[in-house]
Structure 1
Amino acid sequence: MARPLSRRALLQAAAVATATPAIYRTTSGRAAAVAAVTAAAAGIPSAWTVRPFALEDVSLGPGVFADKRRLMLDLARGYDVDRLLQVFRANAGLGTGGAVAPGGWEGLDGEANGNLRGHYTGHFLTMLAQAYRGTGEQVFADRIGTMVGALTEVRAALRRAPEVLTVAGRFGTAADQVRGSYQYVDVPAAVLGDASAVTLSVWVRPTHDADWARVFEFGDDTHRYLYLAARNQAGVPRFAITTSGAGGEQGLDGTAPLPLNRWSHLAVTIAGGTGTLYVDGTAVARNTAMSLTPAALGTPKHNWLGRSNYSADPVFSGACQEFNVFSRALTAAEITELQTRRAADASTGRGDLASYAFDETTGGSFADASGRDLNATLRRTWGAPSHPGFLAAYPETQFIDLESRTTSDYTKVWAPYYTAHKILRGLLDAYSATADDRALDLASGMCDWMYSRLSKLPKATLQRMWGIFSSGEFGGIVEAICDLHALTGKAEHLALAKLFDLDRLIDACAANTDILDGLHANQHIPIFTGHVRLYDETGEERYLTAAKNFWDMVVPHRMYGIGGTSTQEFWKARGVIAGTIGATTAETCCAYNMLKLSRTLFFHEQDPKYMEYYERALYNQVLGSKQDRPDSEKPLVTYFIGLTPGHVRDYTPKQGTTCCEGTGMESATKYQESVYFTSSDGSALYVNLYSPSTLTWAERGVTVTQSTGFPREQGSTLTFGGGRASFTLRLRVPAWATAGFRVAVNGRAVSGTPRPGSYFDVSRTWRAGDTVRIVMPFRTRVEEALDDPSLQTLFHGPVNLVARDSATEYLKVGLYRDAGLSGDLRHSLTPVPGKPLHFTLGGAEWAPFFEGTQDPTHAYFRRSEPKVVFGGLDSGIANPAKTGGTTLLDEIWAGAPFPHKGALVARVRSTVDAWVEAGLLGRADGVKVVSTAGAASYRP
């Protein structure tokens, strides 16, 4: 059983997925035992053979990461968090203080009626927590406290019956219905009293222009009813009565829309076959053939103010006052009199069938002043939460609907457990940063509530739910639940995590069977990070095996050069890259989650490929997804990054509140999280990324400051501070560092041969003042699309270079003309003075992908080498190609690097001979090619 962590231990380990596994699985021996105890105290799974440092242990130095983070920190400091909380408060029936919810996916008027609202708040909490831990600025902790306090109030309000909100009324105060509260007033069944003549009179102040929101409706179902809608499909008030459904309605339609945020008086009279609709004392509609009266309805089952019998109709949003029902038709003069005084003070007196002033009571009940004691009650359309731990920005109905849903319809159910995950993760991060017990209590309550729902469902139901696209998406909830279990130790929480198992996916990946074609990418990537954490908690190997195999199915088989994956949010067949490039490739959330999965897998197995991918995606897609300009309202982060020719990045998609803006806020406040790791026993320090930063390694009593302009600088310097400590420094040798990787300690070269795509070890007792200088010259190279070798992307070291050009066709680019003996293509590029990592080539400027501009860019180009040219010397021979697209020059230069010119010429001769023998090149042309190679001059 996992034990709860202390606040101090939690704060030390807050940078990581906190977990204390139930099973001890480290190697034997005293050192391992000490390491296990230390790891448990810090909340580190004992299965991890390396562990990260907390965000507060690593500070960023000046550079591209600090520049990008600064822009996001400004948003974190300045954004009005009451706007984020608006949807939560509204759902709970609390006052919102006039705050306006963010647009897009967070607002009720956004996509799918805001069925994902609340997710952005979770992301924002995580961003604040990371910002606080990374900078120590109190403003971030204060904002966390405000949000956690508000969410605590929200949950408490959801637990109790709704209570009326009062606002200034036409006379005194009125009852207010906040949009998104899903509240209405339930009136006793006898309210209409079988009247054959009636007047219904009410003051309303609508705050939203939704069609068909009912001021009142009395009826049984969608067959027998009468109603008054503030707006019909034409935008004007409508009264109707029917005993035969919508087709049999006898109605009265207004002539003009009711103004928003202003009081209007509405009255309907029925008597003697005539119905009249009054707006502000003026008769705007009359029907002399209205044969139906309330008596025709009998005693309706549903007697509602603000709610419709049609489930798709919105509830009324706005204020209501002075609802009176009279058993006669008031005269026009009497209705005019009601414009200036209360009914109680007018000649009419209060309604004799029902009369609610809405300013005479508080709480959730409304006194009837008619003398009939028909007191009304404020209710929620969805009743009450099924468990007191429920916390969301929308009703529980989405969760309930999912349990019987068999097909996806995001306008009805849009990933409720995904949204729950974001909120849960935000609360856990808030707790890790501030040790606010309220945040942990809210998180624990959410999982108690989820367990109470899901544990009752048959396994077949769960499997069906999690397999539904979009509606069944649950994001990284398993990881978050495992992290919570490490804190609470509750068996129910671990059991809950396993209820999200999608066996079809786990079993296929565990068997290394690739079934990803056609799957929604970001629905599934974070599932596997959760599987790794379940392995940590349970020791079940299939979880870890499935996650490792899954990673290999994505990288490189479904990976674009920048590290991103997916097209239109989905995966296509394995190995299809060129065939999937479009304007909606590389969803940013996918890169975020692939980084998280890569990092978590590295904790178990230090295969350099995980950090190779991490560097690629971080330095290219993730950095490039953030626009390089300030904004106080939007995070300015891409959703998709189109890789089509001339694509211009959209940094405010869907009004700026999508999942990718959320993960983008998180990414920009944790850039330092994977720069350094330590072995579990503290015997080694991993330097995974070359980034200006300072590590404070308290356990070993040392600091390590990394000074570099990387990636604009081709190297880095580590300077040690603090006391003496013996450990191995493990320096990552990037796979692209084929031009050399040199290490010097205190100015003296370290012996050994660093191998690209590995770690290079330097072991010693480190002292204050020691320096380690690393030099890793960049080479310029191309990467070919797996399914089309002629479609390529250009790299300079780790940096993806894109051409800035407005053309919408692939640029044709040649690179072999000036290639050096090393095979480095840099000689084909001309550096732009004063602009590091900027070059000109083929008439276009090439710049780092990570620069967040809105220039049209070409991430991929069409490789075009029409002639065989060596060292700038043209042979005059056309460059032949094989059926698959590989050219003669491709095969020649595949042998690089060449130690000297003779080796290159020998490669040319042997390749030409093979092509001549295969009938791909004429013998005379072959001789010309070889002689040109021998006559040319080459740079290194």
Structure 2
Amino acid sequence: MTPPLSRRSLLRSALLATAAPSVAYAGSGPAASAVLPTPPSWAVRPFALSEVALGEGVFAAKRALMLDHARGYDVDRLLQVFRANAGLSTRGAVAPGGWEGLDGEANGNLRGHYTGHFLTMLAQAYAGTGDRAHAEKIGSMVTALTEVREALRHEPRVLGVAGRFGTAAEHVRGSHQYVDLPAGVLGGAYAITLSAWVRPAHDATWGRVFDFGDDTTRYLYLTARNADGVPRFAVTTAGPGGEQGLDGTAALPLDEWSHLAVTIADGTGTLYVDGTAVARNPAMTLTPAALGTLRNNWLGRSNFSSDPVFAGAFDEFNIWSRALGADEIAALRGSRAADTSAGRGDLAAYAFDETAGSTFADDSGRGLDATLRRTWGGPSHPGFLAAYPETQFILLESMTSGDYTKVWAPYYTAHKILRGLLDAHLHTGDERALDLASGMCDWMYSRLSRLPRATLQRMWGIFSSGEFGGIVEAVCDLHALTGKAEHLALARLFDLDRLIDACAAGDDVLDGLHANQHIPIFTGLLRLYDATGERRYLDAATNFWDMVVPGRTYAIGGTSTGEFWKAHGVIAGTLGATTAETCCAYNMLKLSRMLFFHTRDAKYMDHYERALYNQVLGSKQDEGDAERPLVTYFIGLEPGHVRDYTPKQGTTCCEGTGMESATKYQDSVYFTEADGSALYVNLYSPTTLTWAEKGVTVTQTTGYPRERGSTLVVGGGRAAFEMRLRVPVWAGDGFRVTVNGRAVDGTPVPGSYFGVSRTWRPGDTVRVVVPFRLRVEKALDDPSLQALFHGPVNLVARNTATGLLPFGLYRDAALSGDLLPTLTPVTGRPLHYTLDGTEFAPFSEGTEDPTHVYFRRVEPSVVFGGTDSGVANPAGEDGTSLLDEIWAAAPFGTKGALVRRVRERVDAWVSAGLLSAGDGRKVVDTARNASYARGA
């Protein structure tokens, strides 16, 4: 027999076995790479992910599917948009697309957010599994982001690639880079030839090969693709309406070199493509001389600000002060200009042979060296890190209404990146990640601290564009690590006073608000309360939660319809295809968890169980995929809804939070009292807790929710503490606890915790029996619209019908009030039943079956024990029926108790004139003669 581990040896073995450190709070367990101090305001604190190992079960199975994605996805694809923004090589990677690509919704103006989610997923996966592959991916991503920030700090650098003849200069799409030529480059010529080799990388229209002009009135340009997709040259002194132009006849091929040339002389202009004249205009009266000296002389950038920057590569660009002949231009196709009879351009000649620096040498002899620049200049602070220019943040400061096609939640995106970096640091100890995170907050403080408070209030009140997610929580966590006063001051700059003050006062102002824009605000307010002690922050968060649960919460634990909230108490009136946004469930879980840390109120963990076991589990498809996380955006609650696990165009916010959820299922199974005197068992889930502070382990073995209970075995050394076992609010009679086979005295109260205090010894075994009953939950605004639950599990009907299904449930109700006998179990499939030919199954199963979360409760006649009395089931003005009133008194200890209840209510209904005396006798006789199951 192996002797029990001492507390010291247990701690040492835990540290050795736990390959992955995790987010920890001071005193909560094994030393992590970085520790967030436990706020004094927390009555309860969590354990680190690495201290709670998932055992075999539904959570481990769902996580394994997500880990397929974590291991298989090429993170260079995520980094593509960051590297492009910094003008770095994207290594041939293809951007993820959807919200993370330049061509996705709103032109990808949220790009970068998904990288933050992915970092958090990897960090949590590493903490929970110890798989070094996840840590290695984190390390490579942090390395890349460090290089990106360094590149953004400085002037752009030439990105040399293989060219037509030697080296060429690449302008990565999304880099916003162009070449700035000196004034006078056109030399006031009356005759001219402009020649360039280009390799377009994208089919965007109006991206300029070159544009020389003062504004949008006086200019000449060559675009690779006009509105018809073909090259166009134009010159004008009177804006677009006065253009004298030349249009090509065919589109330039993408990712291939093409030679373009334009000549103007003696009133005739000619456009050449690959040495062949494709357009001629004999009526071109304008020449560079007519334009005078122009201010903006650009390669790759347009004088029209709405036009895209040219994406692709440039090789030789030459300007001659004469019109080359057709033979000379044809010769340029096969050789460098210097090796042809034309020679280098005498006005300007750029070979683009540079492989470093930010300038291009002019070989014309005129000394007109060019400079590589960004259209937006550079960041206002060296800590800036993003996958798009700082202009997104700058534009927000002057916006008065939202327009996500122009500015789409830049501080929300910053939050995701910041959170991912913090998690990377906390879970792996990478100091570079902390430096990047700290730099981002230094940069944000430098921008926001100079703005008037009125401007900030306006910004944060703008729908979508002003959304900032959980940035306050992340900044407060960073402040806990850095101690920098500026970081705490930054967190407070996001205060949206009218929302905070209303919620602190208990005024429900949520109707019409965007749900996920506002839920994470309140986790931030709790962290501000922790840091400042300001009571209004705590009051606002507490009252806000009560405005959402249950008044705006669906049976599965989700909230919102079409991303917005409706009036309090409206559930039936909001069912549709776009209910229950997955991000909202994720953020409500975070808020519930954090409120519990402050209050110990079991209602928060009751909600946590509901949302976790239903919406969160059910939002992940039961398949693995290296390319896609397979997570829902909305979960439609309309009848017959089929879940979409590849929503919108991909890489959505909900797929991001879905990745995170699937790698932290164990984060709230156990908590500890802040002083270590008690262990909270919040969820019945197969797990092993290593509580190094106490020198013990707690191994929980259960098939819950298929199993109606759980077994917990204490290991390690001896330790005194109270084990507090959550009694679910729905549990009712029958919750029992034994220790080493002996019943524990006490009366469990649903919606609270049942405590067991003792000095625990190795091998002590706690058995918890949790009574399950089939029950219904009624929509607040329509009691006949109901959802079916077995214990914590929402059972959904699988049926292709698109209308509400009618079901009656009293026909075989047990004396306990359990409705389960009315359903027929499906052999070999736990928690699967049939009723009237329709299958019911757990919502948590991530299938593509059409489902009905809500159904229409129809009890047309009075039936007991499967026997129909032949009497119509009467109902009062409020819709409550006779059967409702009878069964509301369940459980019944004996059949006689049920019959007495039936007689009592029948007499009352007869007296009220709602039931005839004869029908009343039939009802009583049927109840007396029927047989009943006892039920759970």
Q: Give the TM-score, by structure 1 length.
A: 0.96
> Over residues 585-608 of structure 1, what are the superposed CA-to-partner deviations in whole Å (9 max), with x where a residue is unaligned?
000000000000000000000111
Q: Sort the Cα spacing of 1:417 and 1:634 in 2 relative to 1 into closer, same or farther, 3 A.
A: same
**Corresponding residue of 1:25:** none
Q: Sort the Cα spacing of 1:17 and 1:250 in 2 relative to 1 into closer, same or farther, 3 A.
A: farther
SS in 1 for 2:114: helix
Distance of 1:13 and 1:613 partners within structure 2: 30
Q: Does 1:533 align with 2:524?
A: no
Distance of 2:793 and 2:303 partners within structure 1: 59
**Corresponding residue of 1:293:** 287
**Corresponding residue of 1:413:** 407
Q: Percent identity?
A: 78
**Corresponding residue of 2:441:** 447
Q: Does 1:723 align with 2:717?
A: yes
Q: Is the 8 A contact 1:13 1:43 kept in 2?
A: no
Match of 1:388 among 382, 390, 400: 382
Distance of 1:612 and 1:570 partners within structure 2: 24
**Corresponding residue of 1:311:** 305
Q: Does 1:915 align with 2:909?
A: yes
**Corresponding residue of 1:170:** 164
Q: Which amino acid aligns with 1:599?
A: R
Deviation, 1:915, is 3.1
Deviation, 1:361, is 6.0
Q: Does 1:647 align with 2:621?
A: no
Distance of 1:922 and 1:234 partners within structure 2: 81
Which 4+ stretches in 1 moved above 4 angstroms? Answer: 11-18, 38-42
> Over residues 600-625 of structure 1, what are the superposed CA-to-partner deviations in whole Å (9 max), with x where a residue is unaligned?
00000011100000000000000000
Q: Does 1:378 align with 2:372?
A: yes
Q: Which amino acid aligns with 1:409?
A: D
Distance of 1:607 and 1:61 partners within structure 2: 27
SS in 2 for 1:192: coil
Distance of 1:758 and 1:124 partners within structure 2: 36
Match of 2:929 among 907, 913, 935: 935
Match of 2:264 among 270, 273, 280: 270
Deviation, 1:809, is 0.9
Q: Sort the Cα spacing of 1:79 and 1:360 in 2 relative to 1 into closer, same or farther, 3 A.
A: closer
Q: Which amino acid aligns with 2:706?
A: R
Match of 1:338 among 332, 335, 340: 332
Matches within 5 A, 1:873-912: 873-912=867-906
**Corresponding residue of 2:106:** 112
**Corresponding residue of 2:184:** 190
SS in 2 for 1:686: strand
Q: Does 1:517 align with 2:515?
A: no
Deviation, 1:655, is 3.5
Deviation, 1:380, is 0.4
My pick for the range that moved more, 242-251 or 66-75, is 242-251
**Corresponding residue of 1:145:** 139
Match of 2:93 among 77, 82, 99: 99
Q: Is the 8 A contact 1:17 1:483 kept in 2?
A: no
Match of 2:428 among 434, 453, 464: 434
Q: Is the 8 A contact 1:726 1:766 kept in 2?
A: yes
> Over residues 299-357 of structure 1, what are the superposed CA-to-partner deviations in whole Å (9 max), with x where a residue is unaligned?
11111100111212110110001111111111111111111111111111111111111
**Corresponding residue of 1:826:** 820
Alignment length, in residue pairs? 916
Q: Does 1:803 align with 2:805?
A: no
**Corresponding residue of 2:65:** 71
Q: Is the 8 A contact 1:35 1:681 kept in 2?
A: no
Q: Sort the Cα spacing of 1:594 and 1:166 in 2 relative to 1 into closer, same or farther, 3 A.
A: same
**Corresponding residue of 2:475:** 481
Deviation, 1:232, is 1.0
**Corresponding residue of 1:542:** 536
Q: Which amino acid aligns with 1:847?
A: A
Deviation, 1:407, is 0.8
Q: Does 1:213 align with 2:214?
A: no
Match of 2:629 among 629, 635, 638: 635
Distance of 2:572 and 2:124 partners within structure 1: 37
Q: Does 1:614 align with 2:608?
A: yes
Q: Sort the Cα spacing of 1:547 and 1:190 in 2 relative to 1 into closer, same or farther, 3 A.
A: same
Q: Does 1:583 align with 2:577?
A: yes
Q: Is the 8 A contact 1:15 1:54 kept in 2?
A: yes
Match of 1:251 among 245, 251, 254: 245
Deviation, 1:223, is 1.7
Deviation, 1:724, is 0.4
Matches within 5 A, 1:811-850: 811-850=805-844
Matches within 5 A, 1:755-770: 755-770=749-764
Q: Which amino acid aligns with 1:869?
A: V
SS in 1 for 2:583: helix
Distance of 1:231 and 1:253 partners within structure 2: 9
Distance of 1:337 and 1:270 partners within structure 2: 19
**Corresponding residue of 2:9:** none
> Over residues 878-908 of structure 1, what are the superposed CA-to-partner deviations in whole Å (9 max), with x where a residue is unaligned?
2223344322222221121122223222322
**Corresponding residue of 2:7:** none
Deviation, 1:142, is 1.0
> Over residues 390-445 of structure 1, what are the superposed CA-to-partner deviations in whole Å (9 max), with x where a residue is unaligned?
00010000000000001111010000000000000000000001111101100000
Deviation, 1:921, is 3.0
Q: Is the 8 A contact 1:13 1:44 kept in 2?
A: no
Matches within 5 A, 1:845-860: 845-860=839-854
Q: Which amino acid aligns with 1:393?
A: A
**Corresponding residue of 1:754:** 748
Q: Is the 8 A contact 1:418 1:475 kept in 2?
A: yes
Deviation, 1:13, is 12
Distance of 1:337 and 1:813 partners within structure 2: 83
Distance of 2:460 and 2:19 partners within structure 1: 35
Distance of 1:820 and 1:426 partners within structure 2: 51
Deviation, 1:912, is 2.8
Q: Which amino acid aligns with 1:372?
A: R
> Over residues 473-508 of structure 1, what are the superposed CA-to-partner deviations in whole Å (9 max), with x where a residue is unaligned?
000000000000000000000000000000010000
My pick for the range that moved more, 482-491 or 914-923, is 914-923
Distance of 2:214 and 2:75 partners within structure 1: 42
Match of 2:358 among 361, 364, 369: 364
SS in 1 for 2:494: coil
SS in 2 for 1:653: coil
Q: Sort the Cα spacing of 1:342 and 1:160 in 2 relative to 1 into closer, same or farther, 3 A.
A: same
Q: Is the 8 A contact 1:14 1:429 kept in 2?
A: no
Distance of 1:854 and 1:65 partners within structure 2: 19
Matches within 5 A, 1:36-47: 43-47=37-41
Q: Is the 8 A contact 2:20 2:428 kept in 1?
A: no
Deviation, 1:923, is 3.7
Q: Is the 8 A contact 2:198 2:312 kept in 1?
A: yes
Distance of 1:414 and 1:691 partners within structure 2: 39
Deviation, 1:206, is 0.5
Distance of 1:263 and 1:35 partners within structure 2: 61
> Over residues 758-778 of structure 1, what are the superposed CA-to-partner deviations in whole Å (9 max), with x where a residue is unaligned?
100001110001100111121
Mark the runs of 5 or more structure 1 residues left unpaired by the alignment: 1-7, 21-33
Deviation, 1:35, is 10
Distance of 1:782 and 1:903 partners within structure 2: 23
Distance of 1:492 and 1:240 partners within structure 2: 52
SS in 1 for 2:424: helix
Deviation, 1:571, is 0.3
SS in 2 for 1:861: strand
Q: Which amino acid aligns with 2:684?
A: Y
Deviation, 1:695, is 0.3
> Over residues 101-143 of structure 1, what are the superposed CA-to-partner deviations in whole Å (9 max), with x where a residue is unaligned?
1111111111111100110100111111111111111111111
**Corresponding residue of 2:501:** 507
Deviation, 1:925, is 2.6
Q: Which amino acid aligns with 2:356?
A: T
Q: Is the 8 A contact 1:636 1:656 kept in 2?
A: no
**Corresponding residue of 1:492:** 486
Mark the runs of 5 or more structure 2 residues left unpaired by the alignment: 1-14
Match of 1:457 among 444, 448, 451: 451
